[in-house]
Structure 1
Amino acid sequence: MSSAYLLVSHGSRDPRPDIAMQQLARLFSERLPHHEHLVGTATLELNSQPLHQQIEHFAQKAQIYGCDRLKIVPLFLLPGVHVMTDIPGEVTIAQQTLRQEMIIDVRPHLGTHPGMVDLLNQSLVNLNTDALILLAHGSRRPGSQTPIETIAHRLGAVTAYWSVAPSLESRVKEIIATGKGQIAILPYFLFAGGITDAIAQAVEELKLQFPEVSLQLMPPLGASAELANLIWELTN
């Protein structure tokens, strides 16, 4: 049985995430067996076609290459509405069109891989800091923060959120109040984009507000061989 692979991300008007997705797809394809080499990317939003049509067109291409199974990997860090509702709904529509000519296998979303914590830890090696803030987007959905809190606990970090409380500024103030002066901020985002630009600007403003404190902003995860390896493991 030969498989094709479709990496599904959110989508962005900023070109950087799409460039990173293409890089990640190339890195991922290097891990495939020789008889499996077809890897594509798709986005849930901000695409000229809805996701189910993207899936259908890629599946038809995969059939030409002799594939009878399509493995879809949602490149989302948290189990929000996109992972739990939107993607399964789009897959159902696509499967009805394709019927039994192609088996669609939706794999667990990226954030479920236990190796994510190790990947985050790699960026902290040799980091000289008194405190670590794990900064995620945040959601008002009940229970949505639990995975972030779990990861933060394993990293020895406190959490902050971009869209809900506690905010980055409030966390920085709390840490400063304890007498710690070297703070690292780790964004829990896949790729650079508009939000990470806004975070960088917010950190610069905090540096002006607290000149006696060292604030170090780490980069988002980005496309890497290590991340591609986690995706490969999710497909098996």
Structure 2
Amino acid sequence: MTDPQALLVVGHGTRSTAGVAEFTAFIDRLKRRTPTAFPAVEGGFIELSDPPVTDAAGALATTGHLDMVAVPLVLVAAGHGKGDIPAALLRETVRHPGMTYRYGRPLGPHPVLLDLVAARVDATDDGTPRDDVHVLLVGRGSTDPDANAEITKVARLLWEGRGWAGVETAFISLADPAVPAGLERLRRLGARRIVVAPYFLFSGILPDRVVEQTRAYAADHPELAVTVADVIGDCEELADLVEERYAEAIAGDIRMNCDTCVYRVALPGFGHRVGQPQRPHSHPADGAHDHGDHHHDHGDHGDHHGHDDHHHDHAPAAPQATTPDSSLGRR
């Protein structure tokens, strides 16, 4: 590889037009940093919405940017960050001979994200002192226990030193406790003022569901003051963090947690997932995929399958161009 490399930002995708617009605006924000920070920037999704990652990678390749850094625009290393995105990137190296990439790590947890979430919570301020406010941090939820544990870690980091009465964790999909259960726990702990903080980058079906479930719970408990904070959103601080992940990938400073990775370690109840073969995610705009293969509809995501590709020596084998749906194995 030769420095500097182009930046390829890979998002999950959403059926929300507002979420796609926010992602697009964020990519435009990063593009305004060229050529000082990056020689070129493109962004795409692995599923659900356009542009697909194959278009973004192709746009870089056709303009001569075959060496790139791919930064997963995800908050935790679950199935999409560990496998779906790397598998899609490996497929692009088949489509574009000579293409090479370095894979950055997920965005969180990071102090920048903690500060942004705290700012969104503070923006709901009704004058109640922080030590009388409880926060419910709501993550996406995953069948990867390591990813769910990361959300709990973020909640604890958000609580430490910031003066709130307490910070609890809930999930909107695939993991417990659900949002109503999290709110009920806070009520039983004595909370009277609760701010629900969706731990999401942009708008989407799942953040909307957080709002709906919170409003339903609040309507049944008029004695409580319950509000929902905004998602993190398109902002300069988030762009700074992506630039940081880009820089550390170029420097080779990629430090990821493998000690509790479900695809390396036989965690209780998940032993069958160690060494599980993987394949790229399905995207309707990518003609190489069988649209009915392995992905089920879970609203904005299907984190029911995960993968491990955060170390190159354990990366999925490159897919064969003539068999686009073949399973991607690992050593």
Per the TM alignment, residue 112 of structure 1 is displaced from its structure 2 partner at its CA by 4.8
Task: Supply the distance in 1 between the matched residues of 2:52 and 2:34 (Cα, whole angstroms).
Answer: 27
8 Å CA contact 1:73–1:231 kept in 2: the answer is yes
Matched with 2:264 is none
Task: Supply the distance in 1 between the matched residues of 2:89 and 2:153 (Cα, whole angstroms).
Answer: 30
Matched with 2:26 is 24
Residue identity opposite 1:151 in structure 2: V
Q: Deviations over 1:82-129 (max 9, x none)?
A: 1111111121222233333x3312211222544322222222347435
Query: Does the alignment pair 1:15 with 2:26?
Result: no
Matched with 1:150 is 153
Task: Supply the distance in 2 between the matched residues of 1:160 and 1:208 (Cα, whole angstroms).
Answer: 19
Matched with 2:59 is 58
8 Å CA contact 1:31–1:232 kept in 2: the answer is no
Task: Supply the distance in 2 between the matched residues of 1:30 and 1:6 (Cα, whole angstroms).
Answer: 14
Gaps of 5+ in 2: 160-166, 248-331
8 Å CA contact 2:78–2:146 kept in 1: the answer is no
Per the TM alignment, residue 214 of structure 1 is displaced from its structure 2 partner at its CA by 0.2
**CA 107–175 in structure 1, closer or farther in 2 if over 3 Å, else same:** same
Per the TM alignment, residue 151 of structure 1 is displaced from its structure 2 partner at its CA by 0.6
8 Å CA contact 1:5–1:71 kept in 2: the answer is yes
Query: How do 1:1-236 residues align onto structure 2 when only pairs under 5 Å count?
Result: 1-34=3-36, 36-47=38-49, 51=53, 53-63=54-64, 67-100=65-98, 102-125=99-122, 127=125, 128=128, 129-156=132-159, 157-163=167-173, 164-236=175-247
**CA 113–61 in structure 1, closer or farther in 2 if over 3 Å, else same:** farther
Q: Deviations over 1:16-75 (max 9, x none)?
A: 121111111122223344484522111101257864x33541232330xxx352121111
Task: Supply the distance in 2 between the matched residues of 1:231 and 1:150 (Cα, whole angstroms).
Answer: 21
Per the TM alignment, residue 144 of structure 1 is displaced from its structure 2 partner at its CA by 2.4
Task: Specify which structure has the higher proportion of helix.
Answer: 1
Task: Supply the distance in 2 between the matched residues of 1:119 and 1:173 (Cα, whole angstroms).
Answer: 26
Task: Specify which structure has the higher proportion of strand.
Answer: 1
Residue identity opposite 1:147 in structure 2: E
Residue identity opposite 2:90 in structure 1: T
Task: Supply the distance in 2 between the matched residues of 1:130 and 1:35 (Cα, whole angstroms).
Answer: 40
8 Å CA contact 2:22–2:234 kept in 1: the answer is yes
**CA 26–37 in structure 1, closer or farther in 2 if over 3 Å, else same:** farther
Q: Deviations over 1:145-203 (max 9, x none)?
A: 11111110011111011122112111212221222200111001111122222221212
Task: Supply the distance in 2 between the matched residues of 1:207 and 1:125 (Cα, whole angstroms).
Answer: 19
8 Å CA contact 2:137–2:155 kept in 1: the answer is yes
Residue identity opposite 2:152 in structure 1: E
Task: Supply the distance in 1 between the matched residues of 2:223 and 2:68 (Cα, whole angstroms).
Answer: 54
Residue identity opposite 1:116 in structure 2: L
Per the TM alignment, residue 2 of structure 1 is displaced from its structure 2 partner at its CA by 3.7
Q: Secondary structure at the match of 1:191?
A: coil
**CA 158–42 in structure 1, closer or farther in 2 if over 3 Å, else same:** same
What fraction of aligned residue pairs are identical, expressed as a percent?
24
**CA 36–232 in structure 1, closer or farther in 2 if over 3 Å, else same:** closer
Task: Supply the distance in 1 between the matched residues of 2:134 and 2:37 (Cα, whole angstroms).
Answer: 47
